[in-house]
Structure 1
Amino acid sequence: MFFDFGAGEVIGLALLAMILLGPDKLPQFAVDAAKMVKKIKNFASTATSELKENLGPGFEDLQPSDLHPKTFIKKQLANALEEDSNPKKLKTKAQIDPDLL
């Protein structure tokens, strides 16, 4: 699932919602929650497409996860290490522990 909930947790949340909201208000709450999730997904996809459009060429394959600082630094360091084509400077290739980033 979206937040990595298991089946038991989903059933527990459903039972809790039935107790707190009651069976008469639960269907309308589910409809409202589904509409909100749809709006959030639409907002996220619109924001991503506008960001790609505004950044210009070269960013067509941009993913929102690429904007995370840790991921960005890892990619930049990997590109920098690949560009170093002179093996005489470094006898061994530098390796970066991802837990240190």
Structure 2
Amino acid sequence: MFGLTFEKILIIGVIAVFLLGPDKLPHYAAQLARLVKQLRTMANGAKDRMRDEMGPEFDDLDWKKLDPRQYDPRRIIREALSEDDDVVTPAATAVISRSPNPDGAYLKRKLAKEESLAAAEFAPFDTEAT
């Protein structure tokens, strides 16, 4: 919790003993215990109130799925674009992208462009292009 390890808590306790002194330390420790109990009570009350206001349909909700730290846009896009629930790996997409479809529109346009350039012997030039 808050990155506090046992060693850090022990060091804080030793520093507190030296700063507060042995006569005031029990009083402040009791106040800290009361504060922790109040915070725990407030947190449980807020949780119960939220559960009452949201209704019973939210009892079975998996809150870990809604955690923004679980968000991976690459996985979401990969799952959305995959067919038949097969996840396409990045290596498979690289292989697919390197071998164009011979019946695809890209190769047809490329061949048509090469044929038209061979017949005209020069590339088209647009004088109004910026």
Counterparts in 2 of 1:49 and 1:90: CA distance versus 1, 3 Å: same
Which structure has more relative contact order (CA 8 Å, sep 6+)? It is 1
SS at match of 1:93: coil
RMSD: 3.4
Counterparts in 2 of 1:51 and 1:94: CA distance versus 1, 3 Å: farther
**TM-score scaled by length of structure 2:** 0.49
Distance 1:73 1:50 in 2: 28
Question: Does residue 93 in structure 1 map to residue 92 in structure 2?
Answer: no
Please name the residue that 2:33 is paired with: 34
Please name the residue that 1:98 is paired with: none
Distance 1:58 1:50 in 2: 15
Which protein is bigger by CA-based radius of gyration?
Answer: 2
Please name the residue that 2:68 is paired with: 70
**TM-score scaled by length of structure 1:** 0.61
Please name the residue that 1:20 is paired with: 19
Q: What is the identity, as a one-letter code, of the residue corresponding to 2:40? A: K
SS at match of 2:56: coil
Runs of 4+ in 1 over 6 A off after TM superposition: none
* Deviation at residue 62 of structure 1 after TM alignment: 5.6
* Deviation at residue 7 of structure 1 after TM alignment: 2.6
Report how many residues are paired: 83
